[in-house]
Amino acid sequence: MRRSVDISNEDIKEHLLSHIKGLPNVDFKFEIDCEDKEIKYLKLDGDKEDFFICFYPWQISIFCLNEHFMFIDDSFREHNITSSDTFGEIVYEGKFKDKNSLEILEIIFNVIRIVYGANSINHEKINTDIKTISGYDTKYNYTIRIINPLYNNSIVYKLENITFYVN
């Protein structure tokens, strides 16, 4: 099934993998879907599979240290997501419609860069009392606290409704 988040294999290889290769001690592997030849999974820790990215047709997901960051296509999120789909997950509420594939991959890499090498990730979910477009749930803001020995200094990274605090 073709991805609705319009990112080609070439974009992933040229604009995401090229940056990921610069991370220390990264052991990446990717898997390609047999039917449509799209990159489906990108593992950043070899065969351990504790840190990986999934390129689903309707979303990009980052899994790291038992946390799940969901970047859902706008049109899919508006009509097909229920609160049980996102329960316990960290959901990016920004829009992809107004971004090209390189901008989307930059967002994904920035999250990867921050969580890669982390010893712990904890999140707090804050209800905004604003209903989602589909009405499936309310929108949430997230505070993500990360302990990452790869960073000597503390950093703060704000991504729409998600704020990352490192160290």
78 band by pLDDT with thresholds 50, 70 and 90: low
**What is residue 14's DSSP assignment?**
I
Lowest-confidence segment of 35-39, 52-56, 143-147 by average pLDDT: 35-39
* Helix, strand or coil, per DSSP, at residue 136: coil
**In the prediction, which pLDDT does 77 show?**
59
pLDDT for 72 beyond 60: yes
- 135 by Cβ neighbours in 10 Å (0-12 / 13-18 / 19+) ranks as exposed
pLDDT digits (tens, 9 = 90+) for 38-65: 899 999 998 888 899 999 888 899 999 9
pLDDT digits (tens, 9 = 90+) for 101-111: 999 999 999 99
Q: Cα–chain-centroid distance for residue 140?
A: 16
**In the prediction, which pLDDT does 76 show?**
64
Helix (H) or strand (E) holding 92: none
Residue spans per domain, the chain: 9-118
